[in-house]
Amino acid sequence: MIKDDMQYLTIALPKGKLFYLAKDLFAKVGFVADNLEEKSRKLVITNEELKLKFIIAKTADVPTYVEHGAADIGVIGKDVLMEAQKDVYELLDLGFGRCHLMMAVPKDKKRAKLTDYTHTRVATKFPNVAKQFFTSKGMQMEYIKMNGSIELGPIVGLSESIVDIVETGTTLRENNLDEIAFIAKASARLIANRASFKLKFDRISKLVKALEMELEGANE
Ligand code: PRP
């Protein structure tokens, strides 16, 4: 961590589906900055008065910024966090961005049971999570790492199955895929760098309390 950064709290926000949900939640507890927009070309947005810095990061990079202390805290989906396997504190379930990780296959090519897919190819953005899951079932698989549009895998003959997140189920339905195994629930999490959590304990724990109160209020 750069010494001058001690006075700032640096927050990494992920681009994409979680960005505005995270921005709105932080705004409710007074953590705001002018021109904080997902598509901003300026990637660090500072509020000098509140001594806040927001970093606008690519989703998969948020745990990396936080692990290395380039950001003190960050918001990230549990799915990405599980995959990243970074050494960070997970402080709070923020409740939004709910989805689940699962395995899906083409409707018309379903096999009788899960283990019938042993030694087949699985396309996924989450090879670590997938490997952990299949290993726990005693299954060896061939993992094909993809960066998006995972559902294409079985359609174009790249793989027999996918491991991906499902939110509404629309993408699976529109591509004639059926979920055949549940892997894990996911939602947005607040994470913290281990050293920052100690060095900026007062500020971070006050923020966590404020967010908790806000989330409790929203659930009443
Ligand atoms: C995610 C995921 C699925 C889709 C699931 O993709 O990979 O494709 O959302 O959502 P649904 O159940 O509501 O249809 P995302 O939109 O993040 O883009 P990607 O395909 O580029 O990963």
CATH of the domain at 55: 3.40.190.10
Cα gap 137→164, rounded to integer Å: 18
**Are 17 and 69 members of one domain?**
yes
Cα gap 204→90, rounded to integer Å: 12
| Dihedral (Cα; 169, 125, 37, 63), 10-degree rounding | 130
Answer yes or no: is pLDDT of 3 > 70: no
Sequence-separated (6 or more) residues with CB below 8 Å from residue 49: none
Supply the pTM of this predicted model. Answer: 0.94
Q: Which atom of ligand 1 is nearest to the CA of 166?
A: 12
Domain count, the chain: 2
**Are 166 and 204 members of one domain?**
no
**Are 58 and 166 members of one domain?**
no
Task: Tell me the CA distances in angstroms from 162 to 58, 101, 134, 140, 148, one per residue in order.
Answer: 23, 10, 12, 15, 11
* 123 bridge partner residues: 144, 162
**Are 112 and 179 members of one domain?**
yes
Task: Tell me the CA distances in angstroms from 52 to 56, 84, 171, 189, 205, one per residue in order.
Answer: 13, 26, 37, 19, 15
196 pLDDT band (50/70/90 cuts)?
very high
**Are 51 and 132 members of one domain?**
no
5 pLDDT band (50/70/90 cuts)?
confident
**Are 176 and 115 members of one domain?**
yes
* Count of residues in the chain: 220
- Residue indicated by tokens 């009443």: 220
Pocket test residue of 102, 167, 175, 187 for ligand 1, highest count of atoms within 8 A of CB = 167
* Residues near ligand 1 (Cβ within 6 A): 148-151, 164-171
Answer yes or no: is pLDDT of 28 > 60: yes
**Are 155 and 144 members of one domain?**
yes
**Are 89 and 105 members of one domain?**
no
Q: In this structure, which amino acid lies at residue 100?
A: H
**Are 86 and 109 members of one domain?**
no
**Are 91 and 9 members of one domain?**
yes
4 pLDDT band (50/70/90 cuts)?
low
pLDDT value at position 168? 96
* Distance from the alpha carbon of residue 81 to the mean position of ligand 1, in angstroms: 17
Q: In this structure, which amino acid lies at residue 18?
A: L
Mean pLDDT of the chain: 96
Is residue 57 within 8 A of residue 39, CB to CB? The reply is: no
Cα gap 196→213, rounded to integer Å: 22
pLDDT tens readout for residues 104-138: 999 999 999 999 999 999 999 999 999 999 999 99
More reliable by pLDDT, 42 or 74:
74
Q: What is the mean pLDDT of residues 157-181?
A: 97
Q: Which atom of ligand 1 is nearest to the CA of 164?
A: 7
**Are 128 and 178 members of one domain?**
yes
Answer yes or no: is pLDDT of 101 > 80: yes
What's the domain range around 205? 3-97+187-219
Q: In this structure, which amino acid lies at residue 151?
A: E
**Are 91 and 112 members of one domain?**
no
Q: What is the mean pLDDT of residues 168-183?
A: 97
Nearest CA to ligand 1 atom 20: 149
Q: What is the mean pLDDT of residues 68-89?
A: 98
Answer yes or no: is pLDDT of 45 > 60: yes
